[in-house]
Amino acid sequence: MSTQGQIKILKAVIRRAELREEQQRITESDNPDWDRWSEIEDEIEASKQEED
């Protein structure tokens, strides 16, 4: 795998981790925004599909 390919995958992994952290904050919130939580889940799934 090329260095550029590895960088692309690492960026995607970092982005998914950031999105998971946002989901965690939503879950722990006193007034959770479940619509945003679902949007994040869709973003995560889309990023996984791009890697394939």
pLDDT tens-digit map of 12-50: 999 999 999 999 999 999 999 999 999 999 999 998 887
Residue 36 structure tokens: 């945003």
Q: Which of 7, 25, 5, 19 is nearest to 47 (CA)?
A: 19
Q: What is the model's pLDDT at position 50?
A: 77
User: Domain coordinates of the chain in residue numbers?
Assistant: 3-51
| Identity of the amino acid at 14 | I
The rounded distance, in Å, linking the Cα atoms of 25 and 2 is: 35
The rounded distance, in Å, linking the Cα atoms of 31 and 35 is: 12
pTM here is: 0.83
Q: What is the model's pLDDT at position 52?
A: 66
**Over 80: is that where the pLDDT of 1 sits?**
no
Q: Which residue has the tokens 């550029």?
A: 4
Q: What is the model's pLDDT at position 47?
A: 86
The rounded distance, in Å, linking the Cα atoms of 14 and 17 is: 5
